Copies of this chain bind each other. A is one copy, B any other.
Amino acid sequence: MSNTITVRDALRDAMAEEMRLDPDVFLLGEEVAQYNGAYKVSQGMLDEFGPNRVVDSPITEHGFAGLGVGAAFTGLKPIIEFMTFNFAMQAIDQIINSAAKTLYMSGGQISCPIVFRGPNGAAMRVGAQHSQCYASWYAHCPGLKVVSPYDAISAKGLLKAAIRDPNPVVFLENEMMYGEHFPIPEQWDEIVELGKAAVVRQGSDVTVVSYSFMVGKCLQAAEQLAAEGIDVEVIDLRTLRPLDKDTIIQSVRKTNRLVSVEEGWTVAGIGSEIAAIAMEEAFDDLDAPVVRVTGADAPMPYAANLVSLTIPRVDQIVDAIKQVTYKS
């Protein structure tokens, strides 16, 4: 496994590297220091950087998010970890009203170079209050950048870019991805530019766009369909705000078919936006209506059998692809 890296370690390395380079970067959140992170993402960072730069906070999301934003107003570059983004709802006023809007309200005077990060969406059967996907909420709001990585290598490059970005960045991780290993390529981009999607699998028959955890399921679906002769192009959106329309539209011009896949709820989700964009910018290129594959429109249940019905499965993605290619 020496040529692989987990998403967890990639995220840690991104933070640690940026903290070595820039003394203004610090990490603050619940259990990030002595505990090395509730999900061990900040493993070893307290030891390396000490308690002034790796700060354990009390359970006061609203207050410590506001504290981070205030520090960022002065030019520091806080990384604020939410143990999960569910708890960021307590702090969302500071994220939207203070972090996202102040550059504008100050006519460009006060920037807010902050990263809010932590796991988003479902984990392993943790119930309705710990499983929400906030991608579309944040993507809705101007003044933010919103990132949600899939693989370890891009996660690292994206997080480094997010930390260097002079704007508030909401960085949506996924708990079930932390332990996933990804091969370390010979060469890779140390910084992955925000706002750019990646074609992670080339194909000519249909375009599937997704982000985070679901990209893996899409790739699996693509493999499965390759055997059946359907050539699937998979796009990892990576950044959800600003959305890389160009990459999506370019692909749709080629494949004429589009499926969006996300674990979040249906209504006004990222998939809705993708469908609307395709409508606006590629209506005449579409040979079939865009299909949205989304999480079930229900709070997350606990029972194992019900959970398996909520988050999109590979077979659902396969079905959706067949539907738009009229192979079903």
Give the most central of A129, A142, A288: most B CB within 10 Å: A142
In the complex, what distance in Å separates the CA atom of A301 from the CA atom of B267? 28
Point out the residues of chain B lying under 8 angstroms from A276, CB to CB: 271-272, 275-276, 290, 292
List residues of A (279-293) whose CB comes within 8 Å of B's CBs.
279-280, 283, 288-292
In the complex, what distance in Å separates the CA atom of A288 from the CA atom of B286? 12
Which residue of chain B is the closest to A89 with respect to CB atoms? B93
Point out the residues of chain B lying under 8 angstroms from A129, CB to CB: 97, 101, 105
8 Å CB contact of A105 from B136, B142, B241, B299:
B299
With A89-B92, A142-B299, A280-B289 known, 7 other A-B pairs at CB within 8 A are A89-B96, A97-B128, A141-B265, A142-B297, A142-B298, A268-B268, A275-B279
Interchain Cβ contacts under 8 Å between A and B, 17 examples: A89-B92, A90-B93, A97-B129, A101-B128, A104-B301, A105-B129, A105-B299, A136-B136, A140-B264, A140-B269, A267-B273, A268-B268, A272-B272, A275-B276, A275-B279, A280-B291, A283-B289
Point out the residues of chain B lying under 8 angstroms from A141, CB to CB: 265
* A interface with B by C-beta (< 8 Å): 62, 86, 89-90, 92-93, 96-97, 100-101, 104-105, 127-129, 132, 136-137, 139-143, 241, 243, 264-265, 267-273, 275-276, 278-280, 283, 288-292, 297-299, 301
Taking a contact as CB atoms under 8 Å apart, the answer to whether A272 and B280 are in contact is no
In the complex, what distance in Å separates the CA atom of A142 from the CA atom of B310? 13
Which residue of chain B is the closest to A276 with respect to CB atoms? B275
Which residue of chain B is the closest to A275 with respect to CB atoms? B276
Point out the residues of chain B lying under 8 angstroms from A143, CB to CB: 299
In the complex, what distance in Å separates the CA atom of A120 from the CA atom of B275? 26
Taking a contact as CB atoms under 8 Å apart, the answer to whether B139 and A137 are in contact is no
Point out the residues of chain B lying under 8 angstroms from A271, CB to CB: 276
Nearest CB in chain B: distance from A97 CB, A: 5
Point out the residues of chain B lying under 8 angstroms from A92, CB to CB: 89, 92
Point out the residues of chain B lying under 8 angstroms from A104, CB to CB: 128, 298-299, 301
